[in-house]
Amino acid sequence: MPLTEATALNIARRAAREIPSGAVVALDRGLPELVAQVTPASLGAWFLRTDGTLDGVPLNMADAAAVLRGGYVDLAIVHPAQVTADGGFVSRAYLRDATVASPGNGVDLASGARRVIALHPQTGDDDDPSVCLVSDSGHPQDGIGCIDTVIAGYGVLSLGDGGFTLDEVPPGKTLDDALSAIGNPLVRAPASAAREMEFAPPSGQAASKILADGPSAVADVFDGATVFIDGFGGPGGMAHYLLISLRDQGSKNLTIVSNTAGIARVVSFGTPPGRTAIDHSVLIENGQVAKAIASFPVSPSVSRPSEFELAYRRGEVELELVPQGTLAERLRAGGAGVHAFYTPTGAGTLIAEGKESRTIDGRDYILEYGLRADFAIIRAHKADTRGNLIYRGTSRNFNAVMAPAARITIAEVDEIVEHGELDPEEIVTPGIFVQRIVRRPDGFTGYE
């Protein structure tokens, strides 16, 4: 029988019950788009759509794909034409023209999410529900072994060894009725009684990302952690309050990744007379840094060496020197799920020592690896309660590219507003990349 509006909504409502609080959900076209409409806002879920929008924030398609590749998607909900007994699926776009493969973003959805659920109408093409469930598709698959659950009008199926098990049936239907209606030998009865499908909205409340102060935000930075810290020539753009909080917290043997390793203090760009800029030096002076990955780790003045430079001369810290553009790309690649890339920058120089090289189109390239971190402490101007960030001026230079590449990103901001108050066109860093938000205290400056 044809898919009715009521059945489609019930499929979407049942799928919404699979969404954990605060989850990032990637939606295929078709039935999955209804899931966002029936999911309560209180759940705090983020929906990545095929048009590249993320919770209403527009992304370019490369960044949208990077959200999937980077491992940020908890659940992908697809609407395929076929699901195979081993959990693979074939897109509807392909079956519309079997001579041309048109997966769209199906392959991204299949490979980029921690879990994939398939939705399917009550009946398949030509009113045959078995079209959706096949032992082995004769068409190229978009996903291999990625689906564990199928939600349809005729029930909820789990996939395991040997095929599909009908675990849930629609209200008012018996297991025998549902199995008979499906009429597919791949679908079997469960070991125990089938449950009745539930369509009530999922309950749950997204946890607040707003922390009371800097010390609580960095309390779990552990010894030996890798930490991203912004920094350019001067003190602007650095999370000074979080730097002081991390210094006072005292974790040791840190690897810091930054454009500089603390030169704002010695170059004094914009520093008021009689004041000292807060930068990475506060961690180095406190003996907390074991290694720096940086582009400008030393002072531009021989007569005014930085704290990192002095510690390096004493043999107390290690250094991995990275060209500035390569550093930015390693950060971007780490956040986008690109583990390595070739670049001509540094080929034939000391930078290339010990690195794999390749000649491409007559030019030498070296292999560089994406960077990931345990924590990022970044600086932004405004945040909303969901963690969406707006920057001011050049503070977005490394802050914005660091946020996606850290397991836990902590943003120090001047102002926090309610969700929906920021113009989506001004948001640079979507809130899925930000786990904690701290407001810089009134009167706090970047100087000691």
Asked whether residue 203 is assigned to any structural domain, the reply reads no
| pLDDT tens by residue, 49-101 | 999 999 999 999 899 999 999 999 999 999 998 899 899 998 876 665 555 55
Q: Which residue, of 161, 196, 231, is where some domain finishes?
A: 196
Copy the structure tokens of residue 370.
């994406």
Which span out of 78-82, 122-126, 148-152, 250-254 was modeled with the highest average pLDDT? 250-254
Do 180 and 309 share a structural domain? no
CB 200 within 8 A of CB 228: no
Which residues partner with 163 through β-bridges? 160
Do 124 and 95 share a structural domain? yes
pLDDT tier, 342 (very low <50, low <70, confident <90, very high otherwise):
very high
The predicted pLDDT at position 124 comes to 40
Do 145 and 18 share a structural domain? yes
Task: Provide the residue range defining the domain that includes 287.
Answer: 214-439
Asked whether residue 396 is assigned to any structural domain, the reply reads yes
Distance CA 217, CA 427 (A): 23
Q: Which of 305, 359, 348, 297 is nearest to 322 (CA)?
A: 297
| pLDDT tens by residue, 130-141 | 568 888 877 888
In this structure, which amino acid lies at residue 204? G
Asked whether residue 205 is assigned to any structural domain, the reply reads no
Asked whether residue 257 is assigned to any structural domain, the reply reads yes
Asked whether residue 366 is assigned to any structural domain, the reply reads yes
Do 372 and 240 share a structural domain? yes
Asked whether residue 202 is assigned to any structural domain, the reply reads no
Q: What is the CATH number of the domain that holds 150?
A: 3.40.1080.10
The predicted pLDDT at position 126 comes to 45
CB 317 within 8 A of CB 262: no
Question: Distance of CA 158 to CAs 11, 151, 185, 409, Å?
Answer: 15, 9, 15, 36
Characterize 179-200 residue by residue with b for buried, 16 or more Cβ atoms within 10 angstroms of its Cβ, and e for exposed: bebbebebbeeeeeebeebebe
Percent of the chain predicted with pLDDT > 70: 94
The predicted pLDDT at position 271 comes to 76
Distance CA 278, CA 447 (A): 5
Q: In terms of C-beta density within 10 A (0-12 exposed, 13-18 middle, 19 or more buried), how is residue 147 classed?
A: buried
What is the domain count for the chain? 2
Characterize 36-70 residue by residue with b for buried, 16 or more Cβ atoms within 10 angstroms of its Cβ, and e for exposed: bebbeeebbbbbbbbebebbebebeeebbbbbbbb
Do 309 and 254 share a structural domain? yes
Asked whether residue 272 is assigned to any structural domain, the reply reads yes
Copy the structure tokens of residue 91.
């897109």
Question: Above 90 in pLDDT, residue 302?
Answer: no
Question: Distance of CA 137 to CAs 29, 133, 189, 266, 425, Å?
Answer: 21, 9, 23, 66, 43
Do 168 and 274 share a structural domain? no
The predicted pLDDT at position 123 comes to 46
Question: Above 70 in pLDDT, residue 1?
Answer: no
Residue 423 burial (CB count, 10 A): 7
| pLDDT tens by residue, 373-394 | 999 999 999 999 999 999 998 8
The predicted pLDDT at position 273 comes to 81
Average confidence score pLDDT of the chain: 91
Question: Above 80 in pLDDT, residue 3?
Answer: no
Distance CA 112, CA 128 (A): 30
DSSP code for 85: T
Do 159 and 12 share a structural domain? yes
The predicted pLDDT at position 131 comes to 61
Do 260 and 147 share a structural domain? no
CB 279 within 8 A of CB 254: no
| pLDDT tens by residue, 233-243 | 677 789 999 99
Helices then strands, each counted (H, E), the chain: 13, 27
Question: Above 50 in pLDDT, residue 125?
Answer: no
pLDDT tier, 264 (very low <50, low <70, confident <90, very high otherwise):
confident
Q: Which residue, of 133, 162, 196, is where some domain finishes?
A: 196
pLDDT tier, 367 (very low <50, low <70, confident <90, very high otherwise):
very high
Do 229 and 187 share a structural domain? no
pTM of the full predicted structure? Answer: 0.92
Q: What is the mean pLDDT of residues 108-120?
A: 92
Do 286 and 157 share a structural domain? no
Do 324 and 434 share a structural domain? yes
Dihedral angle sign, alpha carbons of residues 435, 287, 369, 333: positive
pLDDT tier, 301 (very low <50, low <70, confident <90, very high otherwise):
confident
Helices (H), 115-186: 175-182
Asked whether residue 446 is assigned to any structural domain, the reply reads no
Q: Which residue, of 140, 162, 196, is where some domain finishes?
A: 196
Do 421 and 273 share a structural domain? yes
Distance CA 438, CA 416 (A): 9
